[in-house]
């Protein structure tokens, strides 16, 4: 009887919780990896900016094509990014304001436009609405054809996995390969851009490539987990990792670990935490994952080995 209960609980976990947790981990790590280099370059809020910009691009791509497949979404996000760059230059020149003020104005305007498009168009049938844009639809990514842990090795069952999982897995592998292949160049240009240029590294092209990788991670994660996790994962795990070590390689490893812990604990606490306090309801998994990443950042600020040396640059 106990064995039957364990089997039933295992089947329920695989079907209802395994894929959301894995997707959350993949999205969190995919955002955290490039976030390390953005943080050290003092460009951590680029991830926040991209998350604001991609929303109207994604909505516009859906309205034009009528589909939410990956290619139109990426093209729409790219067009939105180009429009954002043009708008920033126009605001700077005509308004004679600082670049930071121009970016803040443009990014918030585009995000508001994206939310407005969601409200006035019929996109709820494909899970594109304000709630999904902010919080994602992580809880709904259920593996319906799974009947236990044996499904993990069943090709027929694996073929029915939510499409967000293989998509994010491919993106994460691509980001990992980019960092691995250009590790030396990224490391040198991050710590000393002038020296990198002197030895022949094309720093501007590399910076552009890093932004493109960041945008790919944001767009891939946006559909599954929403903008809240995307913004939090670009900043919190890398910042927490920076407080744990002064070496870049270890920092990347720590950030991936913190991102994974945030995704796993956040999903568990969101689904089961309220029940521990007698509440029959659950809370948003995306919001709880972001909260856990913030708690980890607070703990590393208080107890991290490098908390008194944050003004220093990390070592290669």
Q: Are 268 and 13 in contact (CB under 8 A)?
A: no
- As for how many domains the chain has, the answer is 1
In a domain, residue 94? The reply is yes
Q: Are 135 and 284 spatial neighbours (Cβ–Cβ below 8 Å)?
A: yes
Q: Which range has the worst mean pLDDT, 116-125, 164-173, 307-316?
A: 307-316
**Arithmetic mean of pLDDT, 204-233:** 83
Q: Is 186 contained in some domain?
A: yes
Q: pLDDT (tens digit, 9 = 90+) per residue, 23-71?
A: 999 999 999 999 999 999 887 777 777 777 877 887 788 778 777 666 7
Tokens for 65, please give them: 């094509």
List the CATH number of the domain containing 23. Answer: 1.10.3470.10
Angle between helix 164-181 and helix 183-191 axes, rounded to 10 deg: 70
* Domain range for 114: 2-224
Q: With respect to residue 77, please indicate whether it lies within any of the assigned structural domains.
A: yes
240 falls within a domain? no
**Does the pLDDT at position 7 exceed 70?**
no
Is 37 contained in some domain? yes
In a domain, 59, yes or no: yes
Is residue 80 domain-resident? Answer: yes
Query: What is the rounded distance in angstroms from the CA atom of residue 314 to the CA atom of residue 78?
Result: 32
Evaluate whether residue 266 is within a structural domain: no
């Amino acid at each position: 009887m106990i064995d039957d209960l364990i089997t039933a609980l295992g089947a329920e976990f695989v079907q209802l919780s395994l894929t959301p947790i894995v997707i959350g981990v993949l999205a969190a790590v995919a955002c955290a990896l490039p976030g390390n280099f953005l943080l050290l370059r003092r460009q951590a809020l680029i991830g926040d900016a991209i998350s604001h910009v991609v929303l109207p691009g994604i909505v516009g791509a859906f309205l034009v094509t009528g589909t939410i497949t990956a290619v139109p979404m990426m093209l729409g996000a790219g067009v939105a990014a180009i429009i954002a760059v043009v708008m920033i230059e126009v605001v700077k020149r005509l308004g004679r304001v600082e670049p930071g003020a121009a970016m803040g104005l443009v990014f918030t305007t585009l995000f508001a436009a994206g939310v407005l498009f969601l409200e006035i168009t019929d996109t709820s049938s494909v899970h594109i609405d304000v709630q999904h844009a902010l919080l994602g639809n992580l809880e709904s990514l259920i593996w319906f054809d799974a009947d236990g842990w044996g499904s993990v090795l069943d090709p027929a069952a694996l073929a029915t996995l939510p499409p967000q999982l293989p998509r994010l897995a491919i993106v994460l592998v691509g980001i990992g390969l980019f960092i691995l292949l250009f590790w030396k160049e990224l490391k040198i240009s991050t710590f000393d851009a002038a020296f990198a240029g002197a030895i022949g590294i094309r720093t501007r092209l590399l910076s552009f490539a890093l932004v493109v990788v960041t945008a790919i991670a944001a767009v891939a994660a946006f559909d599954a987990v929403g903008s809240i996790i995307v913004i939090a994962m670009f900043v919190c795990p890398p910042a927490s990792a920076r407080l744990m070590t002064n070496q870049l390689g270890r920092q990347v490893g720590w950030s991936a670990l913190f991102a994974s812990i945030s995704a796993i604990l956040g999903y568990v606490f969101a689904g089961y935490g309220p029940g521990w306090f007698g509440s029959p309801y659950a809370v948003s998994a995306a919001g709880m994952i972001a909260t856990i990443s913030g708690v980890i950042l607070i703990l590393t600020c208080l107890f991290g080995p490098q908390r008194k040396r944050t003004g220093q640059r990390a070592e290669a």
